[in-house]
Chain A
Amino acid sequence: MAWEIIVNSVNTFNSVVIGYYILVNGLYTFLLLISLSAAVNHLHKVRYRVPARSLAARSVPPISILMPAYNEVATIVEAIRSLLDLSYPDYEIVVINDGSTDQTLKTLVEEFGLTPVERIYRRILPSIGPVRYFYINPQFSRLIVVDKEHSGKADSLNVGINIARNPYFCSVDADTLLEKDALLRLVGPILEDPDRIVACGGIVRIANGCMIEKGQVIKVDLPKEASVNFQVVEYLRSFLFGRAGWSSLNSLLVISGTLSMFHKKTIQKVGGYNNRTVTEDMELVVRLHRVLKEHRQRYRIVFINDPIAWTVAPRNLRMLSRQRQRWHKGLAGSLFAHWRMFLNPHYHQIGLLAMPAYAVIELLGPVVELAGYFTVGLAYFMGILDFRFFMLFLLLAILYGVFLSVGSVLLSEITYRRYPSLSNLFQLVIYGILENFGYRQLNAWWKLKGIWQFLLNNHKKTWEHLEKFGFETIKQH
């Protein structure tokens, strides 16, 4: 009797898993198709669009770049040099030193010859960390460094928004390099539709393995480490077809904090970054949707296929695991904080499609996947493994994953052929296949741990402590 119940429940669960995968794969295919059409459109658009440069150079809006930094001594100088070198008519750089305990501030002061000054700090958005001093050097008139007490990344960004003087701001991580015309490209959609676009994000790529000189990536190459290559494929997948697809539906819930531009007034209206979540970038976008929908404002949050920022990916598994746990915990937190939007027709496509899809696929995906592996193992040991279920599971979960990974690598080939050599491309395809045997399962495990941490209510606000090794070491590859 008890045996029968167990067998029945295992079988029922298996059917649920299969049903789940059919749903998820259907949605992914749908997104892939949308992204494909968006990519093709984009390719045409590049050929005929009116370039931002020619649209009356003085009519591009001024931008403030905000760079929060906490113990970033390894990369920050190079990153600021890359920012000072951008081709854009009017921008300022606000570096917010969040009470670093290493030499970050000292390095900046020495490198750029900064002097402390006092300025009035107007607290328009609430911020906790007291501001100590402003540092400037009249020779680098675009650069302002703000020193404040430690209070987390979100709070630092709010301080930055309070200091920013321009109508748009762009948040950039301190371990990120921007391409020279990244701002011009990022501002493109805003020029076309300034009244509706409130936020705009771009593609982030991995800088490991690339040759870097004077803050610019001069030769693109793949890194040696397998774990980083897997991430390269992962980034391609998540940006090129995840986000491009969601953006076409105006349902983008994530804009990577590594490179994103916002309309300052709108962000002030929704209350700035939330200091209580671990992924403040995602939470902000979800809140933006929520508040603007509630105000019945017509708006768009877009993702564009081309502005390129290069960031440093964690090289060892321990760091990677920590990063993924944090991201997933943040995802859970952001969705949970706005649970009222779920299936709520008031929020249109966000409530009815994007939020449930993110919750079911992104958030619960790893749970279902690991549970699937577990029941397969369990059924095998109990001798009741239904061979058909096993094959269907393999087909839907693993092989379809191979299809998606390889598909995104190929999508990157037709949109932006940034990997110049064919051998790079073959390598990426192979990593796209291998990714599904081991790396993906590991990733699911980390994400599960992230959910567990969220359930434990472990709301410690932390900075992402990657092991800092800087761009210089990358160059030697």
Chain B
Amino acid sequence: MLWDVDLHQVLIGFILCLAGGIAAAMVWVVVRRAVRKRYYHRLDLERERYRSMVIAIIEGRFEGDLGSLRRRARTVEWVAIEILLLEVIEQSSGRQQGRVTEVFEQLSYVDFYIQELEIEIPWRRAMAAQRLGRMRSTRGIPALLRALEDKFRDVRQNAMQALGQMRDPQALDILVSKLGEAIYHNKNFSRRVLMTALISYGEIAVPLLIRKLSDPFDAVRGLAAEILGEIPNPQALPALIKSMEDPSPEVRARAAYALGRIGQPLAVRHLIAALSDPFWYVRLQAARSLGRLASPRAIYDLWLRLTDPHAQVRLAAAESLVLIGPPALQALTSQLLYTADHYAREQVSEVLQQSGLIDRWIEDLDATDETVVQQIQELLVAAARGRTLASMVNALQGHPRPQVRMRLLDILGRAGMPSALKTIHRVALHDPDPLIRERAREVMLRATAKNKVRAINGLGNHR
């Protein structure tokens, strides 16, 4: 059938349509760009025109009738005033914020968006929910609560976010009851949005969340504990301590995290107990929280965790010890010097490097007290064996005091790490001090043949 049509005409027709279509589209693009440009230009002008007026209204200096500012919805002026008011409300708080909300209500922006929430077009509903949240008018709450059951996910999420921004107690109950839904039906809305909404409630949400800590579902209890950690409030302390004995490790880990955030010394004993939990992520969170609490009581148990079978726990324990400060450093340095576990040594030295301690030791290398220098030398050799060479290698090449460079050379020579040998080789060639060059050559000679080959190979690639 297709074969019988006069294809000649079809072809010409198609070419004409295509050419016409392209021409029309180009005209449309040109017109669209021009229209937009004009619109935004006008919007800028209107904003400048109304700016002083809006500020006067907020500060209560406005003389005329507020109703005179009411404009037909969606006109340029209406949009300009809305943008100005939203700018003000975002930067203000307390009474001034309340004043802006009142103005929004009086100029019927709130009513407009409440109506928009009933409209068929989903993106306009989502937009309305977002705007109602930013305007913070309690009049919008019933409509937003209805919008929580909307067919469209973005509308539900924006409504949730909006309710969080308003911090209205009547919506809180409903939001907390959605915890389970956020986990088990995450198609409905994302857990993160619910969390953000509840976190923005702050203290008011704490009692309800505490009640959720005894929910029958593990994941709900865990999420409640996590949110409680983000709203650090001492009220939750007893409940969270009780959660440290929860049968689910997820809940225990999050409770440990929350206890660290709340920062009450009462929790230290329970966190120390959690350091020997069979699940590594509970131990991890407990170790981190103990670092945050910086309690010297935890030093011994954290020190034991430096040889934990799980790498992240070891690292967290070392970091926490650094946070606890001077009394814990002894635990760290003794671990650095005497451990046979090279993984643990590495982690300790990495943490010491990050905390800046190794740099301080290097600076102290030319101290007058001979015993101090010896101790530091021992520590630095151990740190170098723990593969934390960056500061030492840097100082070896660029430290202004030759005494420090000389001692570093000995330290690195004793540690015998091949990657340091590369630098020592360079020092042997380029150091300004002839004595140091000489010593570098000696160190190179003492290095084992295998290491030298590796170093030279590395150097060849390096060049």
Contact = CB atoms under 8 A, between A and B. Distances in A.
B26 A429 contact: yes
Nearest to B418: A118
Given A50-B157, A117-B388, A194 B393 contact: no
B416 to A, nearest CB: 12
A48 interface: yes
Interface string B1-43: 0010001101100110010011001100110010000000000
A391 B154 contact: no
A120 B343 contact: yes
B389 A118 contact: yes
A151 to B, nearest CB: 15
A132 B458 contact: yes
Interface in A176-212: 191-196
Contact of B196 (A55, A106, A119): A55
Nearest to A122: B311
B390 A48 contact: no
Contacts of B22: 406, 429, 433
Contacts of A115: 389-390, 393-394, 423
B25 A109 contact: no
Contacts of B447: none
B360 interface: no
Interface stretch (A72-80, A133-141, A252-260, A272-280): A133-141
A422 B34 CA distance: 11
Interface stretch (B54-62, B122-130, B140-148, B330-338): B122-130
Contacts of B418: 118
A387 B8 CA distance: 9
Nearest to A426: B26
Interface stretch (B72-80, B186-194, B251-259): B186-194
Interface in A49-65: 49-50, 54-56, 59
Contacts of B123: 41, 44-45, 47-48
Given A193-B186, A195-B186, A50 B393 contact: no
Contacts of B199: 56
A395 B346 contact: no
Interface string A96-136: 00010000011001000001111110000000000011001
Contacts of A50: 130, 157-158, 161, 193
A442 interface: no
A115 B387 CA distance: 12
A388 interface: yes
A105 B192 contact: no
Nearest to A100: B461
B192 to A, nearest CB: 6
Contacts of A136: 390
Contacts of A195: 186
Given A50-B161, A392-B7, A402-B18, A194 B390 contact: no
A422 B28 CA distance: 12
Contacts of B388: 117
B387 A48 contact: no
A169 B266 CA distance: 39
B41 to A, nearest CB: 16
Nearest to A410: B25
Contact of B127 (A47, A54, A105, A402): A47
B186 A137 contact: no
A194 B14 contact: no
Interface in B193-229: 193, 195-196, 199
A45 B158 CA distance: 11
A120 to B, nearest CB: 7
Given A56-B195, A56-B196, A116 B158 contact: no
Contacts of A395: 7, 10-11, 14
A7 interface: no
Given A115-B393, A118-B387, A194-B191, A388 B3 contact: yes
Contacts of A193: 186, 190
B25 A406 contact: yes
Nearest to B457: A132
Nearest to A47: B127
B132 to A, nearest CB: 12
Contacts of B417: 118
A194 B127 contact: no
B389 A117 contact: yes
A191 B193 CA distance: 8
Interface in A404-448: 406, 410, 413, 417, 422, 425-426, 429, 433
A192 B26 CA distance: 37
A380 interface: no
B151 interface: no
A119 B387 contact: yes
B310 to A, nearest CB: 12
Contacts of A387: 7
A391 B5 CA distance: 12
Nearest to A141: B354
A45 B192 contact: no
B450 interface: no
B24 to A, nearest CB: 11
B95 interface: no
A394 interface: yes
A339 interface: no
A292 interface: no
B177 interface: no
Nearest to A420: B33
A138 B14 CA distance: 65
Contacts of B30: 422
Contact of B387 (A117, A191, A194): A117
A357 interface: no
A399 interface: yes
A417 B390 CA distance: 47
A147 interface: yes
A191 B190 contact: yes
B458 to A, nearest CB: 6
A399 B19 CA distance: 10
A403 interface: yes
A54 B343 CA distance: 39
Contacts of B186: 193, 195-196
A137 B158 contact: no
Contacts of A433: 22
A410 B29 CA distance: 8
Given A56-B195, A406-B22, A48 B158 contact: yes
Interface in B83-121: none
Interface in B375-423: 387-391, 393-394, 417-419, 422-423
Contacts of B353: 138
Contacts of A48: 123, 126-127, 129-130, 154, 158
B461 A147 contact: yes
Contacts of A105: 461-462
Contacts of A59: 192, 195-196
A120 B346 contact: yes
A196 B185 CA distance: 12
Given A147-B461, A192-B190, A388-B7, A422 B33 contact: yes
Interface of B: 3, 7-8, 10-11, 14-15, 18, 21-22, 25-26, 29-30, 33, 123, 126-127, 129-130, 154, 157-158, 161, 186, 190-193, 195-196, 199, 230, 343, 346, 353, 387-391, 393-394, 417-419, 422-423, 458, 461-463
9 contacts: A55-B193, A56-B230, A106-B463, A116-B423, A117-B389, A132-B458, A194-B190, A399-B18, A403-B21
Given A120-B343, A133-B458, A403-B18, 17 more contacts: A55-B192, A56-B199, A115-B393, A116-B422, A116-B423, A117-B389, A119-B387, A132-B458, A133-B419, A192-B192, A193-B186, A193-B190, A196-B186, A387-B7, A388-B7, A410-B29, A425-B29
Q: List the 9 closest pairs (A to B, CB-CB), nearest first.
A: A44-B123, A48-B127, A118-B387, A48-B126, A116-B419, A391-B7, A115-B393, A388-B7, A391-B11
